[in-house]
Structure 1
Amino acid sequence: MYNRMQQSITVKEATSKMERYCAYQERCHKDIMNKLATMHLIPEAKEKIILHLLEHNFLNEERFAQSFARGKFRIKKWGKQRIIKELKFREISEYNIKTALKEISDKDYLTTFHELAEKKFDKIRESEKNKQRKKLVDYLLYRGWETHLVFEKVNELIPF
């Protein structure tokens, strides 16, 4: 067994790598910090790189939050609660979270919710109403849809 020497990387190389990393897809500060941690740079170098990324608009938290909210809503059909939770986990500010949620129109939000609920309901293979209700409720809440919407829809689809 041998010890591999830690490969050193220059600030210029690290900056170039981080530019490509940010250009590939929107990133948040937390993503950048995690990536920089793998490069074993001194704190001053990390700071310099982050400053460079901010100044050259490679890193923009508001843009990240908006893109994240749009994508998770359109592609994964997440509700606002799940989007908020995930953005908070990424340490995004309340202001940027509010801005991001404005990317989702109320009309699209409700249309998507109803389509998702009805599609899931059609796939539930349970004969017992209570089990059907539980499966549908659990599914919709896990995806981050608001409880009042979930229970109204479940009561509409599976009346008592």
Structure 2
Amino acid sequence: MRIGESFVGDGVNAAHINTVAGPRSGPAGAAWAGALASPSAGHVPFVAVLAPSLPVKPLTLFVSKSAPVDDAHGTMIWGPAQAGVAAGVADAVAEGVIPRGDAETDVVIAAVWVNPGAEDADAVYRNNREATRTALRNGVTGGPDIEAVLAARHRPANPFYTAPESADPTSEENR
């Protein structure tokens, strides 16, 4: 089983993707089937398609991390975000991140964040495509490197919060 993550873009049109990939016959396949069979209010997993009746391979389950708040938000989820995820999975196969032979036997779960304020469908598409491709690559390569993780531990940052430098318990001022 390969687990990956990627955040691409900024502002309301950014994409945050978490992926789980692996053989249908293993834990990833069991999780895929279980998630498909267990929708919850506002979070209905569905198979990502490149076009109607043309699912991407490996079969990819799109799981929204955000319940649609209105029709426009739902359209961003089911339209450009889904198209970006499907294209990103196909890119991973085309680039050899996922071997072509595994495309018939593996599955992918993509947990996808689409901001309710997203406003640019093309940016949502591009960001989700790149984030999916990158998350799948990270899952295969084991990224990020542990040294990058350890270096960032003293000042974690994300689009919603950056820890102050004084939050590092190993810094001189906090000893």
TM-score greater than 0.5 by the shorter chain: no
Relative to its length, the structure with more helix (as a share) is 1
User: Scaled by the length of structure 2, what TM-score is found?
Assistant: 0.21
User: Scaled by the length of structure 1, what TM-score is found?
Assistant: 0.23
More relative contact order, 1 or 2 (CA 8 Å, 6+ apart): 2
Question: Which structure has the bigger radius of gyration?
Answer: 1
